[in-house]
Amino acid sequence: MRIDQIVLGTAVCLLLATTPGDGRGQTAGIKTGMPSPKRHSPTAKADPAGDATGLIEVKQSDLLQKPTKDNWVSYNGDYTGRRYSALTQITPANVSHLVVKWVFHTQEAGPLEMTPVVVAGVMFITAGNDAYALDAETGKQIWHHARAVTEGLIDDASSHHNRGVAILGTRIYMETDNAHLLCLDARSGNLIWDVPYATGNRNYGATSAPLIVKDKVLVGTSGGDDGVRGFLAAFDVQTGKEMWRFWTIPGPGEFGNDSWPGDAYMHGGGTTWMPGTYDPELNTVYWGTGNPSPDYDGSVRPGDDLYTSCLVALDPDTGKLKWYFQFTPHNMYDYDSVQTPVLVNANFHGRPRKLIVTAQRNGFLYILDRTNGKYLYSRKFISNLNWAKGMDEHGRPISAGLTPDEKGVLVCPSQDGATNWYSPSYNEATHMFYFRSLEACNIYTAKTTPFEEGRTYYSTGLRRPLGEIGKGYIDAFSLDKLDFAWRDRLIGPTFAWAGVMSTATGLVAFGDDAQNFVIVDGRTGAPLWHISLGQAIRASPMSYAVRGKQYFAVATGSGDLFSFALP
């Protein structure tokens, strides 16, 4: 994957206060001698203990809520992966009045790639192996579970990226850089259990956020560029006992093993380093898998290299494969397929369908039927794409035969992908699918190299074409028109690795390539508000509400978390 290359509570009926103003954030005028800017409104905190705020007791029904509203209960908000909020307080008309409400600085202070989870006014975040609970209205720390980052890891895991927590009941769950699943008491931050779940190859790590499905918590690993064997594993939410494990690389005697001579399957990659999505009605989880390993040397893994660069549809009760769809067979360009598989119910060619919409690192946007994995549609979304000549009727790309060698071959899109792990968003109001894209190419080289524990397993490398500078974009694809509605160039010095989210009022929020947090009109792409955060943004934003006030929050590249709201 090499993501770092260039650089509900029980009562989670959170009562909406009748007046959006609140009593917080006002100075204690008497004690400090400072004047209070305004007196608190009579409804604000009139009954500080009387609403559901502050009580962490997340039920299955809270996790099943869609779309997400006051609470944001998982990495992508809800099980569909839409990263869409039904909150409507902030609109195109008033968004220009947004202000920073608070900033929280994590002690880890590395680049944050996580999305906060908010329940009942409490925000849960991670930084490295640390977890924090914050007052979501003030950003003040309630507790901090400190755990040292792991020394001696390699590649992505050695950057200690972490994408956040999952929550159920009174517990939160997180992965550590060395692939332990931690269960913490959400009320105290205390450790309930700690399960190491990836052993036998020290190149395993973990960077994702777990996903809770019913009574199980699902986790994957990193290490797909480092010769690990990918898997998705499910653990009992109460005990931490392993319930099933789906290996993304078939073992001897299994279907698909013919790409993996000898013990190559033990080092085939196909890791599961981003959260998947879940359709409760179809009782199916959808999970993207990473590139095959070694990355650029396809000679040691002939054939399609199943199930790398795939979407796998699994039974969440058993881990059994229902179907798979492979986006990039025999991938030699590091095109992981871990981009969020967004579940959309929409008309397609005039018929209501259960769809998956996903923009892939290989440069194509796909629409699949999520009941059976059938290919319905694809569309190239970048100009610079030369690795495939097109798509056949089943959605299998027609290879252009570009094979990395010792001299090097120019391939577009680049290893960083036409898009990547940063989140897309599907918006119910505009029927548009929003995502970030990158126009760039790389010169790929390959050389057969043996696998060795403790070392990466790219089997050589890549370089940029002389003088080329990648160009970042935000794209809006209309599901009604099956066409792009708009595409905005992001001008700035650094491609930001920042995802998008959208809201019921048609707002689309994201970090741009110039350290700005930006909100645009989702219908047109017209910018409505922006603020420079003074640091690159490498995470996807979310939105939440406490006591009737809507907030946007986004984590940043220097270890901060910003929260914005109307004054």
Partner 1 sequence: MTHLKGGRWANLWVSAGLFLLAGMSMMAQEQGRGDAQGAGEFAINCANCHGSDGQGAKAPSLTAPNIVALSNAELIRVVHDGVSGGMPSFAQLGDANIVSVVRYLRTLQGQGDMVGPAAATGDVAAGRALYFGKAQCSSCHMIQGKGGFIASDLTAYGRSHAANAIAKAIVTPDNPVAPDARVVEVRTKTGKKLTGVVRNEDNFDMVLQTEDGRFHFLAQSDLIDVHRTDHSLMPQDYGRRLTPAELNNIASFLIVAGQTTPAEPLPPGRRHGGGR
Chain residues binding partner 1 by CB under 8 A are: 23-29, 31-32, 36, 40, 45-50, 53-56, 107, 121-122, 129-130, 135, 137-138, 140-150, 170, 183, 185, 187-194
Pairing of strands 560-565, 425-427: unpaired
Q: Write down the least CB distance from residue 43 to partner 1, Å.
A: 11
The burial of 454, by beta-carbon neighbours within 10 Å (0-12 exposed, 13-18 middle, 19 or more buried), is given as exposed
- How many other C-beta atoms are found inside a 10 Å radius of the C-beta of residue 546? 26
Characterize 288-307 residue by residue with b for buried, 16 or more Cβ atoms within 10 angstroms of its Cβ, and e for exposed.
bbbbbbbbbbbebbeebbbb
| Beta carbon of residue 111, minimum distance to partner 1 (angstroms, whole number) | 18
Closest to partner 1 by CB, 10 or 386: 10
- CB closer to partner 1, 31 vs 349: 31
State how far the Cα of 244 lies from the Cα of 316, in Å rounded to an integer. Answer: 9
- Between 187 and 487, CB nearer to partner 1: 187
Helix (H) or strand (E) holding 155: helix 155-158
Joined together, the tokens standing for residue 509 give 């929020």
Using alpha carbons only, give the angle 409, 411, 417 rounded to the nearest 5 degrees: 140
- Our CB check for partner 1 shows the closer of 194 and 480 to be 194
Q: How far is the CB of 38 from partner 1 (least distance, A)?
A: 11
- Cβ 198 to partner 1 shortest distance, Å: 17
User: Which is catalytic among the residues 334, 336, 475, 512?
Assistant: 334
Nearest distance, CB of residue 133 and partner 1, angstroms: 8
Q: How far is the CB of 216 from partner 1 (least distance, A)?
A: 18
Q: Which residues contact 90 (CB under 8 A, 6 or more apart)?
A: 98, 503, 505, 507, 543, 550, 552, 565, 566
Cα-flanking dihedrals φ and ψ of residue 62, to 5°? -70, -40
- List the one residue out of 380, 381, 398 whose CA is nearest residue 389: 398
- Give dist(CA 127, CA 149) in Å, integer: 10
Residue among 135 and 297 whose Cβ is closer to partner 1: 135
Nearer to partner 1, 47 or 406 (CB): 47
Q: Are 556 and 91 in contact (CB under 8 A)?
A: no
Question: Whole-number minimum distance, CB 137 to partner 1, in Å?
Answer: 6
Question: Known catalytic residue: 334?
Answer: yes
Instruction: Say which residues have a Cβ less than 8 Å from residue 63's Cβ, sequence separation at least 6.
Output: 8, 73, 74, 79, 168, 212
Q: Which is nearer to partner 1, 118 or 310 (CB)?
A: 118
Residue 185's DSSP bridge partners are 171
476 in Cβ contact with 484 (< 8 Å): yes
- Supply the residues annotated as catalytic: 334
